[in-house]
Structures are given as structure tokens and as C-alpha cells.
Amino acid sequence: MTFKSNVVMTLVLSTLMGAALAADGGATKEDATAMVKKGVAAIKSGSVDKIYGDISDKANASWRHQDLYLVVYGLDGTVKAHGANSKMIGKNLIELKDIDGKAFIKERVDLAKAQGTFWQDYKFTNPETKKIEPKSMYCEKLDETVVCGGIYK
């Protein structure tokens, strides 16, 4: 191979590797924090029902980033908005447990009441990979709700 061919091949492989890494990569803690803060600000300033609808609309790209989406729960555990599964809206999931038996919605609501802003770890099905994976959820309490966005580890 000539020098020029080696350079071209290196550039092609680098581009393909970068694309593969971007496809496998997920949202960061910074992305989750920013998305939750954006959601809180939107809910505070707009029509709550419209914002909840927008957050729950999987086609609305402004409320999705890679594997990151928002969920909003009432402090009783009832889903107000869900960026990955709109069928959950209106359901009370306070007793929902992860694969390890952790009642993560109850814990989330309790943390919201006690701390207001927090990170929470549990296991959940990644909507992109369809596999159960460790997840960290950043949450902020807003009035009688908790707005959350999580990252898969």
C-alpha cells in the first residue's frame, strides 16, 4: 500500500470507529442534569398539560437526547409524563420494583420529599438496547411532582 492509501484507509477507519462509538454512547450526567432543568423551566413557564404531552411524545426531538428522556411523577407515584412509554401516563407505579427488588419509584418519591434534588441508582430496561442495565436518574422536585432524566451506565 502506498502512503496515500494508508492515510485514506486510516481516515475511513477512524470515521467508522467514531460513528460506532457515537452510536453505542449514551447521554452523560451533564446531559441528564441539563434536560431535567430544561423540563422544570418549561413546566414552570408553560401549559403543564402541553409540556407533559410534549415530553411524552417520542417524536418530539427536543425532549430526547440519545438514550435520555424525561419522566414526571406525582408525589403519590402517578406518572404525569413519560418520554419512553406514554402508556404509563396516569398509572400509579409506587410499588414498581427493579430486577433486584428495589422499589425505585417509592424511593424516588421519598427522596424528592426529603432532598428535592438528587441522583438515584437502580436497574431498568434501556429502550434502545432492550436490555436491563444499571441506570442513574437525576431528579428535581417541582411542587407536587418530581421531574427526572436518567443515564444508562
**All residues at 6 or more sequence positions from 93 whose CB lies less than 8 Å from its CB, including other chains:** 73, 77, 78, 79, 105
Percent of the chain's residues with pLDDT above 70: 84
Whether the Cβ atoms of residue 111 and residue 118 lie closer than 8 Å to each other: yes
pLDDT digit string (tens) for 45-100? 989 999 999 999 999 999 999 989 999 999 999 999 999 999 999 999 999 999 99
Containing structural domain, residue 143: 26-152
> CATH code at 98?
3.30.450.20
Domain count for the chain, please give it.
Answer: 1
- Answer yes or no: is 18 within a domain: no
- Answer yes or no: is 136 within a domain: yes
- Answer yes or no: is 48 within a domain: yes
Q: What is the pLDDT of residue 15?
A: 30
- Answer yes or no: is 101 within a domain: yes
- Answer yes or no: is 69 within a domain: yes
Is residue 33 over pLDDT 80? yes
Q: What is the pLDDT of residue 3?
A: 33
Residue 25: which pLDDT band, with cuts at 50, 70 and 90? Answer: low
Q: What is the pLDDT of residue 127?
A: 80
Whole-model pTM: value is 0.82
- Answer yes or no: is 11 within a domain: no
